[in-house]
Each structure stands twice: as C-alpha cells, then as structure tokens.
Structure 1
C-alpha cells in the first residue's frame, strides 16, 4: 500500500463513513474506490482533486505526509484546500508561534507544508497578538531598517493576495527568492512590487504564481537597544527648515 492509500483509509475511518458513501460522493463505483485504498490502482488527477475536497485536505499532504500522525484539530484549512498548516496550543488554549531560526531557515522552503517539520520548530506564545495564525522569521542583512540582522519578525498568515495592503511590510516566501522581508505594493492584478526601506537595494517584481506564503508584519523581537540613526530624508527636512528660519531672520532685519 502507498502513503496515499493509507491516508485516505485513515481519513475515511476518522470521518466514520463507508467506502460506499465515499464512492457515491466521488461519483464512482465502490470497487473503483476500494482499489485506491488497497493501493492496487492509482487515482487520476480529476479523482484526486475530488478526494482532496471530500476530506478537506490538500493534495500535497495526501501524497507526501502521513496524516495518521497529525491530529485533525491541529490543522488550519485554507482556501480551496491549497494547504493545511498545523496549529499547536499551550495549556491555556493559546496558539503557539513557531520560530523559524537561522538554522531552520534553509529547510523551510521544502518543509513549510509538512506538519511534522513545522511542529519540530521552536515555539513561543504571545497572547497579546490576538486572532490569526502567527509565525516568526529571521531578518538578514540591512535592507529593512530599523530591523537588524538577527532580529525575528512575527507575521500573521495572509490567505488571500487581495488582503495585502500597499505600503505595509510582509514576510514573503517565494519559489525563486526564498524567504524575504519587504514592503509590498500591488503593481498589477497578479504582480507584487517588493521594496526595501534601505534605498540602496532596488525594488523588484514577483508574480503571484511564484508566491508560496505571505505573512503580515505584527511585531519584532530584537536584541539591540541602540538609538536609530536619523534618515537622510529627515536630515534634509531639518536643513531646509533651518534655511527657512535664517531667511525669515534676514527679512525681519531688513
């Protein structure tokens, strides 16, 4: 038997329904469905989609993760069964926040959809954040001041691209760039512009099809207490104000 066969059998038993009932819902015969559970036949793509929707679970988990090891109440279902995220809670029922450390960052692109990988990440609890699914990500480099290299950005999961607000900052997980923290703007319907607050780094575009996850900035955890340096824009404003004051003084003396 395959992992897929074990999964659909386990899900059916948890749902407490017969093979006949599942087959009726899929619009196929019971004998055909039985072959999928026995592993003697592989489900074609169209049937695979129907099975995923019937059990409310993503296709990638059906094929690649042993769902028997995952309590169903620890999963967060997203739109169109695209992905299921594990949710773990403390003794008071508060959601734990998984922290993607620098060491774990390298494997996140492959493990973000694997509940076993996620549940092995370090966890903290921040009850003041309120509702939503949160996760912590490391900051690298100097592209997003005042957040420094080594800080942790706590983000809230964004399910739909339409929820992204121009000018706000987000952790973006993409197929091509991996994990980045940037300020976003919607350039086109299916394209986002990623901008750094440090203008030394040029902005660039990312297509919606390349995006795996988006997490909206909620708070950060840092280790530095040094005073933030004044930006060039603020310095120019102060210089112009000083020149304006001097001009006014000259006029008043005339």
Structure 2
C-alpha cells in the first residue's frame, strides 16, 4: 500500500465514515474507491482534489506526510497544510476584494475553494487596506454591534490559526455553524471560544477541525448613520459629566 492509501484510510476511519458513504461524496462507485484505499489503483487529479476538499487537507499532505501519526484537529496548525485560496487579480496586479453578498451567501460553504464560484462574485477595490488577501462578508443579526444587518465586513485572510489574537474580531467559515463574525479567544486547547459583543448572545466553542477559513476584521462598509446606544461605561461617564456640570452651576450661583 502507498502512503496515500494509508492516509485516506486513516482519515476515513477517524472521520467515522464508511467506504460507501465516502465514495458517494466523491461521486464515484465504492468499488472504484476501494482500489485507491488498497493501493491497487492510483487516484486521478480530479479525485485527489475532491478528497482534499472533503477532508480539508492539502494534496501535498495526502501524498507526502503520514497522517496516521497526527491528530486531525492539529492539521490546521501545520504550515504545509494549504488548500489553494482562489483570488481575483486586477490588470495592474492588485488583488480585488470579492464580496459575498446576501444573495450568494448560501453557496459559499461549498464554493469557497471553487475558482469559478469566486470569479462570479462582485468585486471592489479599497487601496487603503494594504497587503494581504481580502474578502467582504454580509452581516446578519445584532450580535456584533455597532455592525448592523445588511452591512459588509471586510476581512483579511488568516493563513495560520496561530496568527489569531485573543480579543480581536474575525469572520469564521465553519463546517457546523456556517459563516459567523465573532470575537475570538484561544483559551482552550484545539478550540476557539466565540464571543458576541451583544451580551444577550451566549459564548460558544468551535474546534480547530471545524474551521474552513478565518478572516481578520479590517473595515466595515455600511449604509446607516444611526447613532449607537451608549455602553454602560459611556452612560456612567455621561452621568458623572452631568453631575459635574450641575456642581459647577451651583458654585457659580453661590458666588453670585
């Protein structure tokens, strides 16, 4: 058996998926898949791509690293674990910002690694963002004020989960929770804690192995100038300032 055969068998077993079910996901027959797993036949490029996308592991790792010796949840930390990120480049060489509108959001989980899908997205350019790969995502709900539903969050692609900084906000693309925008903390092994700035929403955890992409917040594109409600600290400051003004007025009146 080849290293590739050992790897796909190990991944399938660790993922607790049958040969028949995996073959169904790959859109091939079970008999054809079995030949790849027992090493009697080599998988063509198209099948290699499908297997890599299914397990979220680069083709390079599938062919050159003994995955049996590595925990699946740790694979995202390996520098060589790269799935190609499709991007659009303008004629002058600058990266375009693909905008995932609300209309096409539902297809992002399956199309994020598909060059044709990415090419179909609307594009804009914001020169002040600097280097890095950027993408825009729609805001839903009220869990992350002051960003309102309907606005666009522009994020910079994070290549390694080790670059995530506690307390900062990120767009996460995950297997089980879809697309979310939260404040992250790495206070547990192999797990991220996701926090909403709106305290009405409880915190929850996402394992590294569930994460497909991470984008660090860079800017917000919105259409509203609604005045944001005061936070508790700001409200307290307002009260203290009002008291200070009243005391000053009383002193002036007393002197006069």
Same fold? TM cut 0.5: yes
SS at match of 2:146: coil
- Aligned equivalent of 2:171: 171
- Aligned equivalent of 1:156: 156
CA contact (8 A) 1:182 1:196 kept: yes
Q: Pairwise mapping of residues 201-216 of structure 1 onto structure 2 (< 5 A)?
A: 201-216=201-216
Q: Pairwise mapping of residues 174-189 of structure 1 onto structure 2 (< 5 A)?
A: 174-189=174-189
SS at match of 2:180: strand
SS at match of 1:181: strand
Q: Distance in 2 between matches of 1:209 and 1:61?
A: 13
Q: Which moved more, 1:240-249 or 1:88-97?
A: 240-249
Q: Distance in 1 between matches of 2:110 and 2:182?
A: 21
Q: Distance in 2 between matches of 1:59 and 1:49?
A: 13
Q: Distance in 2 between matches of 1:170 and 1:158?
A: 9
Q: Deviations over 1:116-169 (max 9, x none)?
A: 111111111122211111110000111111111000000001111111111110
- Aligned equivalent of 1:116: 116
Q: Pairwise mapping of residues 37-186 of structure 1 onto structure 2 (< 5 A)?
A: 43-44=36-37, 59-60=51-52, 79-186=79-186
Report the aligned-residue RMSD: 3.6
Q: State the aligned residue count.
A: 197
Task: Go from structure 1 to structure 2 and tell me whether the alpha carbon gap of 1:195 and 1:101 turns closer, same or farther (over 3 Å shift).
Answer: same
Task: Go from structure 1 to structure 2 and tell me whether the alpha carbon gap of 1:108 and 1:62 turns closer, same or farther (over 3 Å shift).
Answer: closer
Q: Distance in 2 between matches of 1:48 and 1:215?
A: 39
Structure 2 gaps, min length 5: 1-31, 56-77
Q: Distance in 2 between matches of 1:47 and 1:58?
A: 19
SS at match of 2:107: helix
CA contact (8 A) 2:87 2:118 kept: no
Q: Distance in 2 between matches of 1:168 and 1:48?
A: 47
Q: What TM-score comes out, normalization by structure 1 length?
A: 0.66
RCO greater where, 1 or 2, for CA within 8 Å and sep 6 or more?
2
Q: Deviations over 1:26-62 (max 9, x none)?
A: xxxxxxxxxxxxx9x954488999998xx9x895369
Q: Pairwise mapping of residues 9-20 of structure 1 onto structure 2 (< 5 A)?
A: none
The structural deviation recorded for 1:182 is 0.6
